[in-house]
Amino acid sequence: MVAHDTAVVEKRPAPSTAPAPRRPRASRNAAGRTPWLYLAPALVVLAGLLVYPVYQLGLISFLEYTQAQVSGGEPTSFKGFGNYAELFRDRQFWQVLLSTVLFAAACVAATLAVGCTLAVLLTRVRALPRLALMMAALGAWATPAVTGSTVWLFLFDPDFGPVNRVLGLGDHSWTYGRFSAFALVLLEVVWCSFPFVMVTVYAGIRAVPDEVLEAAALDGASQWRIWRSVLAPMLRPILTIVTIQSVIWDFKVFTQIYVMTGGGGIAGQNLVLNVYAYQKAFASSQYSLGSAIGVVMLLILLAVTLGYLRLLRRQGEEL
């Protein structure tokens, strides 16, 4: 008699199609409020430091507000958009706006060029020179703008500055001409701005796998080709962020221009929007026009900042 084994087939329970239990609404609301509770102290401080001053800036830009109103001699009157209309009819305003845009663009381009070049250099030198370069760059970054501007004025002083002596220029004044003064200020702005770009880009380069760079070198690519075809595309998010931040910083330069050109240069030839607003508000006591210039700058920088935040959000979604 042959015995046949009977296979026992176990029946597995069918996968449940019932929806997953949902978290209580109260729990979801509490989880959504938690980040805001952590941010609340910082938001309160920012509201006190930014919201109220911006509100006052916008309010004054719609009023007739001169030294007479500050002294209480005449009542404050509402002008609406009259200050903006007067500002936009001023030819000097458009000239200063153009100078500001061109100067900021030159500063951003030079800062990126110097910062990226030194970031690549940091990856090619030994530990001791790398440390020395990093310490020197951080020293420039930590120097206050007034101090740095004063030092650069001394270096290029027509009577006592070492630069003119080394170059054999005699008593040549760098701040007399419009373009030479802008160039001198540009050098100081780049000197105090490139460390941020250098350190950020250097950190990005160190995150690139060594195999990628070695493969490009084995294919015979030069250092410039490796940067242009390999590193720059991989570092595009970082380069975009440092570019936008540099635009924001260089567009609102005030201290360097004011200190190094004596408040805007001869006959205002080196004015930028920040210095122009200061002159209108405090030198001419036209506080309404100065506030209107400040609002225009705020709107321009707000547009740049919104673009910056949009890029950050897009990069966060890609990661």
Model confidence at 26, in pLDDT bands (50, 70, 90)? low
- Identify which has the larger pLDDT, 252 or 216: 252
Chain-centroid distance, C-alpha 304 = 9
| Per-residue pLDDT at 9 | 45
Domain ranges of the chain: 93-318
Share of the chain above pLDDT 90, in %: 46
Give residue 21's pLDDT. Answer: 54
pLDDT at 8: 45
The strand ranges marked E within 196-273 are: none
Q: What is the pLDDT of residues 254-286, one digit of tens each?
A: 999 999 998 888 888 999 999 999 999 988 888
171 touches 260 (CB < 8 A): no
- The pTM score is 0.81
92-142 pLDDT tens trace:
999 999 999 999 999 999 999 999 999 989 988 898 999 999 999 999 999
- Quickly list DSSP for 88-154: HH-HHHHHHHHHHHHHHHHHHHHHHHHHHHHHHHHTTS-HHHHHHHHHHHHHHHHS-HHHHHHHHHH
Higher pLDDT, 1 or 181: 181
Q: Which fold has domain 93-318?
A: MetI-like fold (1.10.3720)
pLDDT at 186 over 50: yes
